[in-house]
Structure 1
Amino acid sequence: MTYLFSTVTSPKIVYIPQGSVFKSIAHLQNEGVNLYKIDGLILRLMGKPQQGWIDIKEKSMTRLEYLYRLTTAKAATREITLIPGETTVVFLDQLAKELDLTNIKLMSSYKKHAPLPEGNFVPDTYSIPNGISEENLIVYLLDTSKERMKSWSLEMLGSYNKEKWLQIVTKASVIQKEAASEADMPFVSSVIDNRLKKEMRLQMDGTLNYGEYSHQVVTAKRIRMDKTPYNTYKHKGLPDYPVCNVGKIALNAALHPVRSDYLYFVRGKNGEHVYSSYFSTHHQNIVNATK
């Protein structure tokens, strides 16, 4: 009986994964909550714990009260959407504004936990609990996205290889930034492959729409001044890392380009890209687009 009234300390907001009671207890143990296997047995007698983000309300309480709250408490959540093609800098700014969080803390947590400078998040609509800390939010988004990326790799390739998948995501990010529409993506993918095969520089403005420059028009001066590996006017091949966060359609396009000999494209007057295989034709397409 004394055990039930011992003290449990826990974050006010906790995440309960889908699965058994003992999986929930194990997850909370990993989060630093002082629970034990016997608590799983007690919890099974009380009911099933809520799933997802739940609000425990307090950081310290008796074990009996804590286990009871696991079965009854729910967190108020807000939905936030990451759009395919958006950069992490912009997304973190969005999180800070919409969830009343600190941008500096979000960025610090991101740099601490993210495996890559960019392209770690899966664009989606996420339900975020009110009151979650910046670090817990970043870890949750990164873990969720990592599992989704692995599942996409298994679905599309039949396996998951970290280095190979990075190349695919990087190519998809350029497609995501360059394509005029989803239908346009396999054509942009084809141009990328054709230029890489010929060892031509990609020379794509979208690669310079990284980070804080996500929505800026790329000028001739910017091309001259930018010395990062993202500048595909100066450097051959794909950038070292993704330019943005990519969706599943862009990943599919990266893996399944149309078969063509296109090397150039320009946005026409109707907003769609006009493709060509020769520079002379491309030059004329540019002239036509500006008339």
Structure 2
Amino acid sequence: MFRKNFIMSLMENILILFIIASVFYTSQSLQTQKTIYVPQGSITNIISQLHKKGYEVSPIDRYILSFLGQPQSGWVDIGAEKLNRVDFLYKLATAKAKMEEITLIPGETALLFFEDIASTLDLDASRLQHYYDQHADYPEAGIYADTYYVPFGINEEQLIAFLLKESTGQFQKISQKIYGTYDKKQWLRILTIASIIQKEAANTEEMPLVSSVIYNRIKKGMPLQMDGTLNYGKYSHIKVTPERIRNDKSRFNTYRYKGLPPSPIGAVSFDAIIAAIKPAQTDYLYFMKNRQGTHDFTKSYRTHRRNIQKAR
């Protein structure tokens, strides 16, 4: 009887010590980062890799983590830099991928967009441009103007692949709905017209009117003579001056060359695409920005000249 009581008492003491040790172990503070990278693989591999990277985790933690759940691989948002062990492991098991928001503004060129997101996401702008040139269907406007959410830590090739896939999906959806098909050659023309509309129109209401001017001038064999076509590439935000018009010998200079530029001049929005596909039915050939910041449209060159004088 004495022996039985002794063994039971010993086991109770061991259990109490185990509980105390467990509480002490799991309540220990761990230094972490708000965002950490979780490698792919088993929980054992995750714990091992985190330990190699300096996190104070041990083989015991794989048992606790197995109970809490399988962590999501990639960059995850832990949310704090100091947690007790059990909170850290719980966060590890339940944390969602950290996402970054990037926005391509309608009218912006790929060159400046890549420079901006390279700075935001700590990437290489030249590598972004390289992968875009390698995989995009269009020299410009291959990425649809929109806001995107991308995983933190994404590399240049992955980012371009994602943006092009999402954008092509949007283009195909619009084209299929209107034309019943998606033809890249036809879509290049649509994107080119849409990109000019995007640069020239003061607002979405004007877009179909600007579109009508483009189509009317092309139909009559008139040069477009639109400043926006010279805001390509690095010139996206550069004011077009008479000197620039005289000296720019590229096909984007629609004062020098008739017809459309060889490719789009910037990213386009849904409204610009629809305006390019469905221009307003007008006989307008000219438009001039007025003092209110919108445009006066006319079919008469004489009236256009008067509008220029009024604007001045």
TM-score range, shorter chain: 0.7 to 0.9
User: Aligned equivalents of 1:48 and 1:235: distance in 2?
Assistant: 61
Q: What is the Cα deviation at residue 96 of structure 1?
A: 0.6
User: Aligned equivalents of 2:267 and 2:291: distance in 1?
Assistant: 28
User: Aligned equivalents of 2:307 and 2:238: distance in 1?
Assistant: 24
Which residue in 2 is equivalent to 1:55? Answer: 74
RMSD between aligned residues: 2.3
User: Aligned equivalents of 2:290 and 2:39: distance in 1?
Assistant: 51
2:182 is the alignment partner of 1:130:
no
More moved, 170-179 vs 154-163: 154-163
Q: What is the Cα deviation at residue 75 of structure 1?
A: 2.2
The answer for unaligned runs of 5 or more in structure 2 is 1-36, 41-68, 77-92
Code of the aligned partner of 2:226: M
Q: What is the Cα deviation at residue 193 of structure 1?
A: 0.8
Q: What is the Cα deviation at residue 115 of structure 1?
A: 2.3
User: Aligned equivalents of 1:80 and 1:245: distance in 2?
Assistant: 14
Which residue in 2 is equivalent to 1:180? Answer: 202
2:258 is the alignment partner of 1:217:
no
Select which of 170, 173, 176 maps to 2:192.
Answer: 170
User: Aligned equivalents of 2:168 and 2:123: distance in 1?
Assistant: 23
User: Aligned equivalents of 1:268 and 1:261: distance in 2?
Assistant: 20
Query: Residues 55 and 73 of structure 1 are in contact (CA less than 8 Å); yes or no, is this contact kept in structure 2?
Result: no
Code of the aligned partner of 1:183: E
Query: Residues 288 and 296 of structure 2 are in contact (CA less than 8 Å); yes or no, is this contact kept in structure 1?
Result: yes
TM-score by length of 2: 0.70
2:308 is the alignment partner of 1:286:
yes
Query: Residues 75 and 98 of structure 2 are in contact (CA less than 8 Å); yes or no, is this contact kept in structure 1?
Result: no
Q: Which runs of 4+ in 1 moved over 3 A?
A: 11-14, 47-50, 71-74
Query: Residues 13 and 131 of structure 1 are in contact (CA less than 8 Å); yes or no, is this contact kept in structure 2?
Result: no
Query: Residues 133 and 139 of structure 2 are in contact (CA less than 8 Å); yes or no, is this contact kept in structure 1?
Result: yes
User: Aligned equivalents of 1:223 and 1:13: distance in 2?
Assistant: 54
Which residue in 1 is equivalent to 2:112? Answer: 90
Q: What is the Cα deviation at residue 56 of structure 1?
A: 7.2
- Which structure: larger Rg? 2
Which residue in 2 is equivalent to 1:4? Answer: none
After superposition, give the CA deviation of every residue in 1:259-290 in whole Å (9 maximum; x if it has no partner): 11110110000001001111111111000011
The answer for unaligned runs of 5 or more in structure 1 is 1-10, 15-46, 58-70
User: Aligned equivalents of 1:138 and 1:93: distance in 2?
Assistant: 13
Q: What is the Cα deviation at residue 74 of structure 1?
A: 4.0
SS of the residue aligned with 2:171? helix
Query: Residues 13 and 75 of structure 1 are in contact (CA less than 8 Å); yes or no, is this contact kept in structure 2?
Result: no
Greater share of helix residues, 1 or 2?
2
Q: What is the Cα deviation at residue 49 of structure 1?
A: 11
Query: Residues 55 and 74 of structure 1 are in contact (CA less than 8 Å); yes or no, is this contact kept in structure 2?
Result: no
After superposition, give the CA deviation of every residue in 1:12-44 in whole Å (9 maximum; x if it has no partner): 899xxxxxxxxxxxxxxxxxxxxxxxxxxxxxx
User: Aligned equivalents of 1:261 and 1:13: distance in 2?
Assistant: 62
User: Aligned equivalents of 1:56 and 1:89: distance in 2?
Assistant: 27
